[in-house]
């Protein structure tokens, strides 16, 4: 059975486990401004929450919202997480909301959160909490954080996708999006995220955590090679550092722990969560156009990255981070190269390809909108210069939404130094949500090329690099670079006649490679 695609029976089993909080002893803070239950009206419904406001709380203080597990409530989460003593010292407000019975969980007393996003009434509730805390205590809306346990952690992941502009940072304990709720990995912005999970969690199965981590690291554009720290008998900590104007992702795998939110003398999840999220605000600068970046240039040498599959003739290799010494793989480039690492593509007597998205648990998920796909390519040897590399984006859900781009690199690697890559940029308009497969294909004939700097971004207008437009006649056999009117290169170093045959109908800017003349062409 697919570990992330658990049937509804799996969710119903969450009756007892989601509220397993072993440390039930709790000391309430004293002299607080408020320590009890509040209720607010949200879209005509009365919603309740447990609230702790430290004594003499200052204006512009942070807010932590902590979500309970299935069959739980705010009071139960308060007993588990025990943020109060941390809040009193660090000066922030903490709120433990009460979830509602969820039909997807069986209704009745099965309280939880709308992790499917069917209505997102809970997201509306969270925003109402923020506004209430602002009205009463003038919290800092740029320093609001969300964390949760079990199904509360699943809701935290969901919120990171649909409410990335509401919360500054996120943390999940023993919860991740199940396959039927795993969508929308490309929210409004990259987000700082911490995940904590017991190594013996057989309920929200720890075996599936690496898939979630991989997907989120790619969405954030982090360094895919973590810095790992082991604290014997306590945890293994993996830090995926920020890159590409993004934020880091941290994963704690806890020794000897199952499906639980447990505070011990050696590890306090709540303290780790606070120490992580407190560093971030919604005002932190990041690249909001960044949607997906596998960071070939920061991968380990000699691997096919996880989530990718290579084909050369009849031989295929699925990415597993296992070192290989031949065939398509991450290679290291010499000093003076534009990148430290890149992916070496190869074909044989038949075509060769590199594909992301064969595994349905690792796909490129795109919401409706305009995107730009960028990458850089260089021939591995002189024989491969001018050969065609084809990029294809295909909707796995219907196999009909297919977009492709052909690129011919004009330079090759010399003496292990790769400089002056050919930039490829492709604009695509997505009209319906889809899970996409991205592939790069080389023609038969033992062609070798290297790809680096691959990413998917929200569309923004780029300058063409063509500073002056001079209308002039370009002959059919003259080599040209072709740009869209937005300035994105769609064809390079090809004859005008060949370029026009390959292009869709539209208006293009054609720049001669041989002369300083540019013309506008209507096809």
Question: What 3-state class would DSSP assign to 21?
Answer: coil
pLDDT of residue 332: 97
pLDDT confidence band for 470 (50 / 70 / 90): very low
Average pLDDT of span 317-325: 90
Is the torsion defined by CA of 134, 136, 139, 145 positive or negative? negative
Q: Which is more confident, 523 or 221?
A: 221
Burial of 128 per CB tally in 10 Å (0-12, 13-18, 19+): middle
pLDDT digits over 179-190, tens only? Answer: 776 666 889 999
**Exposed e or buried b per residue across 336-355, where buried means at least 16 C-beta atoms within 10 angstroms of its C-beta:** ebbbebbbbbbbbeebbbbb
Return the residue matching tokens 């000391």: 27
The mean predicted confidence, pLDDT, of the chain is: 87
d(CA 128, CA 148): 18
Q: Which two tokens stand for residue 361?
A: 């648990």
CA distance 229 to 252: 10
Residue environment code for 153-183, b if the CB has 16+ CB neighbours within 10 A, otherwise e: bbbbbbbbbebbebbbbbbbbbbbbbeebbb
Confidence of residue 504 (pLDDT cuts 50, 70, 90): low
Count the neighbouring beta carbons within 10 Å of the beta carbon of residue 270.
23
Name the pTM for this structure: 0.82
Q: How far is CA 183 from CA 158, 167, 177, 254, 298, in A?
A: 8, 19, 8, 27, 26
Per residue in 367-376, pLDDT (tens digit) is 899 999 999 9
Given this model, what pLDDT does residue 287 score?
A: 94
Q: Please tell me the distance from the alpha carbon of residue 523 to that of residue 66, in angstroms, as a whole number.
A: 57
pLDDT tens digits for 201-231?
999 999 999 999 999 999 999 999 999 999 9
Alpha carbon distance 379, 518 (integer Å): 27
> Does 491 have pLDDT greater than 70?
yes
Closest CA to 74 of 43, 40, 105: 40
3-state secondary structure of 131: helix
E strands of 380-417, at which residues?
389-395, 402-407
**Contact status, residue 146 vs residue 170, Cβ threshold 8 Å:** yes
């Amino acid at each position: 059975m697919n570990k992330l695609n658990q049937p509804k029976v799996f969710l119903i089993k969450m009756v007892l486990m989601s509220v397993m909080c072993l440390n039930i002893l709790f000391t309430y803070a004293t002299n607080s401004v408020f320590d009890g239950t509040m209720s607010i009206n949200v879209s005509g419904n009365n919603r309740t929450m447990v609230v702790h406001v430290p004594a003499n709380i200052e204006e512009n203080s942070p807010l932590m919202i902590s979500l309970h597990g299935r069959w739980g409530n705010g009071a139960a989460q308060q007993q588990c997480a025990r943020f109060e003593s941390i809040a009193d010292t660090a000066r922030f407000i903490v709120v433990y909301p009460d979830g509602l019975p969820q039909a997807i969980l069986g209704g009745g007393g099965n309280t939880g959160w709308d992790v499917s996003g069917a209505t997102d009434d809970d997201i509306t509730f969270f925003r109402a909490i923020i506004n209430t805390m602002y009205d009463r205590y003038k919290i800092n809306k740029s320093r609001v954080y969300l964390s949760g346990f079990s199904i509360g952690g699943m809701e935290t992941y969901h919120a990171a996708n649909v409410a990335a502009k509401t919360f500054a940072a996120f943390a999940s304990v023993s919860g991740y999006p199940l396959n039927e709720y795993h969508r929308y990995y490309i929210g409004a912005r990259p987000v700082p995220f911490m995940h904590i999970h017991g190594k013996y969690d057989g309920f929200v199965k720890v075996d599936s955590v690496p898939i979630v981590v991989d997907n989120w690291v790619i969405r954030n554009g982090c360094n895919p090679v973590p810095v790992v720290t082991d604290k014997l008998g306590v945890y293994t900590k993996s830090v995926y550092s920020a890159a590409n104007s993004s934020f880091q992702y941290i994963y704690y795998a806890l020794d000897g722990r199952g499906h639980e939110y447990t505070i011990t003398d050696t590890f306090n999840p709540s303290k780790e969560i606070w120490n992580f999220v407190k560093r971030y605000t919604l005002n932190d600068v990041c690249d909001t156009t960044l949607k997906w970046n596998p960071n070939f240039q920061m991968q380990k040498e000699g691997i096919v990255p996880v989530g990718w599959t290579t084909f050369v003739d009849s031989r295929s290799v699925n990415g597993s981070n296992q070192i290989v010494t031949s065939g398509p793989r991450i290679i290291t480039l010499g000093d003076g190269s534009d990148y430290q690492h890149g992916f070496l593509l190869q074909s044989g007597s038949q075509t060769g390809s590199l594909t992301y998205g064969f595994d349905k648990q690792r796909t490129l998920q795109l919401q409706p909108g305009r995107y730009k796909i960028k990458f850089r390519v260089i021939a591995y040897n002189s024989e491969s210069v001018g050969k065609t590399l084809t990029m294809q984006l295909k909707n796995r859900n219907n196999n009909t939404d297919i977009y492709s781009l052909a690129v011919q690199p004009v330079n090759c690697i010399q003496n292990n130094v790769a400089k002056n890559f050919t930039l490829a940029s492709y604009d695509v308009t997505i009209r319906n949500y889809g899970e996409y497969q991205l592939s790069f294909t080389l023609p038969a004939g033992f062609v070798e090329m290297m790809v680096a700097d691959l990413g998917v971004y929200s569309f923004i207008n780029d300058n063409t690099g063509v500073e002056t437009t001079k209308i002039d006649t370009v002959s059919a056999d003259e080599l040209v670079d072709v740009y869209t009117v937005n300035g994105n290169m769609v064809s390079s170093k090809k004859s005008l006649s060949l370029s026009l045959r390959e292009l869709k109908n539209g208006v293009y800017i054609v720049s001669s490679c041989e002369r300083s003349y540019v013309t506008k062409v209507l096809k």
